[in-house]
């Protein structure tokens, strides 16, 4: 980084961030050990991609066997930013001194990690070192939201099963257990979904979220049109592709209704093609489609003009489209850098365009998407470096002063998340 970027980064590090999307477990936020950290799907995917066999990462293997095999293969992708995450994590959390993980040094690292991970208040210590105040969770509608500090680990209602698997026995049983409502028609489905929102809102949830595949069709469906479709689905009758799309869209609009009634923003993550690779490792079978578009969501954004929608995309081809929607729609916000775009090249390209084109109040900077709280540290630091470089360019071009650049950074990392999600 330039000296200016380094100077800005030093100040940006001091801004306490809010992580608005993760998969951290509320009752056990930390990894159990080095094996779990290295078992993060980024590493198993990349290791498998460059030749490690699935049976060399199997759950049945000992820690010794699995970590040895994975570390040996990681040398093939030590050029990646994902590899950099684990090294930075190890250095800043476990006092790791080396530049690379090797078969010779991973065992002392594992021992140091185990000692730290077993400590009391370790999760709080991680967030202190990462300078993160709050981490948003991903909670299915059946999860209990008790037994943890909801001011730090913030509940978020994940709605995928409600929309995509409405009539499955597991979904129906879960709704009955959560709300006491047996779904038998549209009226009781509405009642059950409202009950879910009531439960989550009453326990500090600050948003609802859903991942939408490219084939998802977003269109308004009247209750009278949805009724026979829901009845058929509940009776186990097959629906056509068009009928399935209609029922899913109807439930999706019910979710938006819940967000409106309970004043919760909705996080939309658009573009993942699920299960595209038959031979992939666990969590490593999904790809990206360039066919996803925000065009079909215009009715949603218009109809629910009083609901806040934060939008992430998986394909960079949607970058300009999201920029224009954020530009025009008061209730649409550009959010984060998701999954395959969560690397500096894409992050910085997006940041340049967003900062140059959009009000600073419309931007949500980053979320970790982390499965273990330890990964919040290197991921946010990566973003802070990207942000420092892009803001340094703006200062050098006389578009911003250094003070103004830092105000933008504070807006993206902290101020906007606090305001938009009311935390």
Residue 284 belongs to domain with CATH number? 3.20.20.140
Q: Which whole number is the average pLDDT over 107-124?
A: 96
Domain that holds residue 316: 3-32+121-421
Q: How are strands ordered across the β-sheet holding 309-313?
A: 157-158, 208-212, 266-270, 309-313, 332-335, 363-364
pLDDT at 69: 96
For residues 160 and 211, is the Cβ–Cβ distance under 8 A? Answer: yes
Could you tell me how far CA 201 lies from the centroid of its own chain?
20
Instruction: Tell whether 213 is covered by a domain.
Output: yes
Place of tokens 């967003």: 354
Local confidence band at 21 (pLDDT 50, 70, 90 cut-offs): very high
Q: Which whole number is the average pLDDT over 22-30?
A: 97
pLDDT at 393: 98
Residue 342 contacts by C-beta under 8 Å, 6 or more apart in sequence? 369, 379
Tens of pLDDT, residue by residue over 328-352, are 999 999 999 999 999 999 999 999 9
Average pLDDT, the chain: 96
Instruction: Tell whether 225 is covered by a domain.
Output: yes
Q: Is the pLDDT of residue 378 over 90?
A: yes
What's the sign of the alpha-carbon dihedral 173, 175, 179, 182?
negative
Q: Which whole number is the average pLDDT over 311-315?
A: 93
10 CB-contact burial (10 Å; exposed 0-12 / middle 13-18 / buried 19+):
exposed
For the beta carbon of residue 359, count every other beta carbon within 10 angstroms: 10
Residues 110, 122: Cα–Cα separation, whole Å: 16
Instruction: Tell whether 397 is covered by a domain.
Output: yes
pLDDT at 160: 98
pLDDT at 242: 97
pLDDT at 293: 85
Instruction: Tell whether 223 is covered by a domain.
Output: yes
SS3 of residue 138 by DSSP: coil
Instruction: Tell whether 24 is covered by a domain.
Output: yes
- Count structural domains, the chain: 1
Question: What is each CA distance from 371 to 25, 28, 63, 179, 253, in whole angstroms?
Answer: 7, 11, 19, 28, 29
- Residue 103: CA atoms inside 13 Å, Cβ hemisphere, count? 8
Could you tell me how far CA 422 lies from the centroid of its own chain?
18
Instruction: Tell whether 415 is covered by a domain.
Output: yes
Q: Is the pLDDT of residue 292 over 80?
A: no
The region, left, alpha or beta by phi > 0 then psi within -120 to 50, assigned to residue 299 is alpha
Residues 126, 380: Cα–Cα separation, whole Å: 12
17 forms bridges with which residues in the sheet?
A: 132
Residues 349, 346: Cα–Cα separation, whole Å: 5
Q: Which whole number is the average pLDDT over 246-263?
A: 98
Instruction: Tell whether 40 is covered by a domain.
Output: no
Tens of pLDDT, residue by residue over 81-114, are 999 999 999 999 999 999 999 999 999 999 999 9
SS3 of residue 250 by DSSP: helix
Instruction: Tell whether 49 is covered by a domain.
Output: no
Q: How are strands ordered across the β-sheet holding 132-136?
A: 17-19, 132-136, 153-154
Q: Is the pLDDT of residue 275 over 80?
A: yes
Q: What is the residue-wise DSSP string for 177-231?
A: HHHS----SHHHHHHHHHHHHHHHHHTT---EEEEE-TT-------HHHHHHHHH
Q: Which whole number is the average pLDDT over 199-212?
A: 98
pLDDT at 1: 84
Local confidence band at 291 (pLDDT 50, 70, 90 cut-offs): confident
SS3 of residue 363 by DSSP: strand
Place of tokens 């100040």: 11
Q: Are strands 272-273 and 157-158 parallel, antiparallel or unpaired?
A: unpaired
pTM score, whole prediction:
0.96
In eight-state DSSP terms, residue 411 is: I
């Amino acid at each position: 980084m330039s000296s200016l970027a380094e100077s800005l980064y030093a100040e940006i590090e001091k801004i306490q961030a809010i992580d608005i999307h993760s998969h951290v477990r509320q009752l056990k936020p930390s990894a159990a050990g080095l094996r779990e950290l290295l078992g993060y799907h980024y590493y198993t995917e990349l290791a498998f991609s460059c030749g490690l066999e699935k049976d060399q990462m199997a759950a049945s293997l000992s820690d010794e066997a699995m970590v040895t095999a994975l570390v040996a293969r990681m040398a093939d992708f030590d050029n990646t930013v994902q590899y950099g995450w684990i090294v930075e994590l190890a250095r800043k959390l476990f006092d790791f001194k080396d530049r690379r993980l090797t078969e010779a040094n991973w065992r002392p690292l594992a021992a140091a990690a185990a000692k730290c991970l077993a400590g009391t208040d370790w999760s709080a210590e991680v967030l202190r070192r990462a300078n993160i105040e709050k981490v948003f969770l991903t909670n299915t509608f059946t999860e209990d939201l008790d037994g943890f500090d909801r001011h730090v680990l913030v509940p978020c209602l994940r709605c995928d099963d409600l929309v995509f698997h409405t009539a499955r026995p597991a979904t129906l049983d879960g709704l009955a257990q959560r709300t006491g409502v047996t779904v038998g028609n549209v009226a009781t489905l509405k009642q059950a979904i409202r009950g879910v929102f009531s439960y989550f809102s009453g326990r500090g949830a600050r948003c609802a979220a859903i991942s939408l595949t490219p084939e998802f069709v977003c269109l308004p469906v009247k209750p009278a049109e949805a009724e026979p479709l829901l009845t058929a689905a509940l009776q186990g009758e097959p629906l056509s592709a068009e009928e399935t799309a209609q029922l899913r869209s109807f439930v999706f609009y019910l979710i938006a209704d819940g967000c409106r009634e309970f004043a919760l923003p909705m996080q939309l993550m658009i573009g993942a093609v699920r299960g595209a690779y038959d031979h992939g490792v666990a969590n490593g079978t999904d790809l990206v489609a360039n066919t996803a578009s925000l065009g079909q969501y215009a009715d949603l954004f218009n109809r629910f003009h009083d609901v806040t929608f934060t939008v992430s995309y998986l394909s960079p081809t949607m970058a300009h489209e999201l920029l224009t929607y954020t530009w025009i729609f008061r209730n649409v916000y550009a959010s984060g850098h998701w999954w395959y775009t969560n690397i500096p090249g894409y992050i910085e390209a997006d940041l340049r365009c967003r900062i140059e084109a959009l009000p600073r109040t419309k931007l949500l900077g980053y979320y970790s998407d982390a499965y273990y709280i330890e990964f919040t540290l290197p991921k946010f630091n990566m973003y802070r470096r990207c942000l420092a470089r892009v803001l340094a360019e703006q200062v050098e071009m006389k578009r911003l002063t250094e003070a103004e650049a830092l105000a933008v950074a504070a807006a993206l990392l902290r101020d906007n998340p606090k305001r938009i999600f009311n935390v």
